[in-house]
């Protein structure tokens, strides 16, 4: 894993609203499709690099255990 990815994974999320929008976007992708999820996240001002990472590289999504330091 490169330094950029590993550093990004341990940074806290900006706030609960962004976190909720990202989580909901992932659910939209599962329920509908990636394009719907992209549009949903864009409408909630989620940065393009975050949208790309969470929708196209699910293995790089944050995990609760990572955030808790396990």
End-to-end, the C-alpha distance of the chain in Å comes to 17
More confident residue, 9 or 16: 16
CA 46, CA 68: separation in Å to the nearest integer? 23
What is the per-residue pLDDT for 14? 64
CA distance 44 to 29: 15
pLDDT of residue 70: 47
In angstroms, rounded to a whole number, what is the distance separating the alpha carbons of residues 35 and 66?
A: 28
pLDDT, tens digit, 9 for 90 and up, residues 12-67:
556 889 989 999 999 999 999 999 999 999 999 999 999 999 999 988 887 644 55
* pTM of structure: 0.69
The pLDDT value given to residue 62: 75
| Separation between Cα atoms, residue 48 and residue 29, nearest integer Å | 15
């Amino acid at each position: 894993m490169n330094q950029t990815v590993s550093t990004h994974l341990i940074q806290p999320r900006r706030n609960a609203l962004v976190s909720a929008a990202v989580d909901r976007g992932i659910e939209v992708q599962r329920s509908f499709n990636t394009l719907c999820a992209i549009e949903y996240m864009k409408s909630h001002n989620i940065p393009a690099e975050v949208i790309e990472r969470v929708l196209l590289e699910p293995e790089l999504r944050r995990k609760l255990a990572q955030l808790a330091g396990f």
